[in-house]
Amino acid sequence: MRAAPRRFPACLLTAVAVLAACTAGLAGAQSDPSETQVGAPVATGSGPLAVSVEAEILTESTGPDGRTMRRWEPATRLRAGEEVYYTLRVHNPGRRPVEAVVVTKRLPFGVAYQPGSAVGPDCQVQLSTDGGTTFAPADTRSTDAQARRNRKAPVVEYTHVRWILARPLAPGATALLRFRAVFT
């Protein structure tokens, strides 16, 4: 009798697929990357926070009645040019509000951030072009000012997205943070 197949979270499968596509043919590439290597989100605040990531694609098909049907599917296999929708769920498991909530997500390898797509509840969205060392709002100049004076950063240069929540996260509450990226 065969054992039932293991089920993995969609975000891990997507990250592994993206990482595998980017490292195909490289000697020494790991086949089972850790969450840190694929860019697990980091949430900080005045109390405990739990964060999960879901990566999905929006598929369209024609139903039996001829209507177009759209549905969300886990982003387990991607084609070049395909848009991936990322949802980060930030949960306060504690009994007190968590203040000064900041969530940072490294963009997975092989994807390009879609301008203006990062959103969240009453928060400021910032982007980084230098590996998460410095951040600035997307509508300002590049965060690596010394090397890129007087120009906006091209979308392909973004490495991290950061959300700064303006209000405390209530006990038991979950904030949904989202962004889109295109698989390159």
For 87-104, write each residue's pLDDT tens digit.
999 999 999 999 999 999
Rounded-to-integer distance, Cα 143 and Cα 103, Å: 18
User: Where exactly are the structural domains of the chain?
Assistant: 10-24+33-183
pLDDT on residue 15: 39
Domain 10-24+33-183 has CATH 1.10.3470: no
pLDDT on residue 40: 86
pLDDT class for 140, splitting at 50, 70, 90?
low
Question: Taking a C-beta distance cutoff of 8 angstroms, is the pair 19, 38 a contact?
Answer: yes
Q: Which residues of 38-77 are buried (b: 16+ CB within 10 A; e: fewer)?
A: bbbbbbebebebebebbbbbeeeeeeeeeeeeeeeeebee
Q: Kindly report the pTM of this predicted structure.
A: 0.72
| Structure-block tokens of residue 67 | 């209507």
Rounded to an integer, the average pLDDT of 31-39 is 39
- Count of other CB atoms within 10 angstroms of residue 156: 11
